[in-house]
């Protein structure tokens, strides 16, 4: 199922937003002309990555304990995080960003 998140023009490169129209918050990031989506909550301390984190290229840093994740893969890039971050496929159609979730 595709969920409409935002218009492409709603985010500039290096910006992120939170989508709350799903059962769990989803963070959506723009890097250049590419969009990525992950679970919004850090796997270590449950901090909102899109509201309290800092995006640096393809890495999001948690604002609480400075753990880092690759937004493309969810891989952990810095401690104290040890669990990867869930990622979601993103589809861009006609200037609109959609996130694909696996359930109806």
Kindly state the average pLDDT of the residues 91-99: 97
Name the percent of the chain lying above pLDDT 90.
Answer: 92
pLDDT of residue 85: 96
pLDDT of residue 81: 93
Angstrom distances, CA of residue 28 to CA of 23, 79, 80: 15, 22, 23
Counting beta carbons within 10 angstroms of the beta carbon of residue 75, is it exposed (0 to 12), middle (13 to 18) or buried (19 or more)?
middle
The model's pTM: 0.94
Kindly state the average pLDDT of the residues 25-41: 97
52-66 tens-digit pLDDT: 999 999 999 999 999
Q: Domain boundaries in the chain?
A: 2-92
**Where does 2-92 sit in CATH, by number?**
2.102.10.10
Give residue 102's pLDDT band: very low, low, confident or very high (50, 70, 90).
confident
The span from the CA of 104 to the CA of 95, in Å, is 23
Question: Is residue 71 within 8 Å of 29, Cβ to Cβ?
Answer: yes
Residue 49 DSSP SS3:
helix
């Amino acid at each position: 199922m595709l969920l409409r998140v935002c218009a492409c023009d709603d985010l500039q490169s290096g910006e992120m937003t939170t989508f709350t129209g799903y059962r769990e918050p989803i963070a959506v990031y723009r890097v250049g002309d590419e969009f990525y989506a992950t679970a919004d909550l850090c796997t270590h301390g449950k901090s909102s990555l899109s509201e309290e984190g800092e995006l640096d290229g393809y890495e999001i840093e948690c604002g609480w304990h400075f753990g880092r994740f690759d937004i493309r893969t969810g891989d952990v890039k810095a401690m104290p995080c040890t669990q990867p971050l869930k990622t979601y496929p993103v589809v861009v159609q006609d200037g609109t960003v959609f996130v694909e979730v696996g359930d109806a």
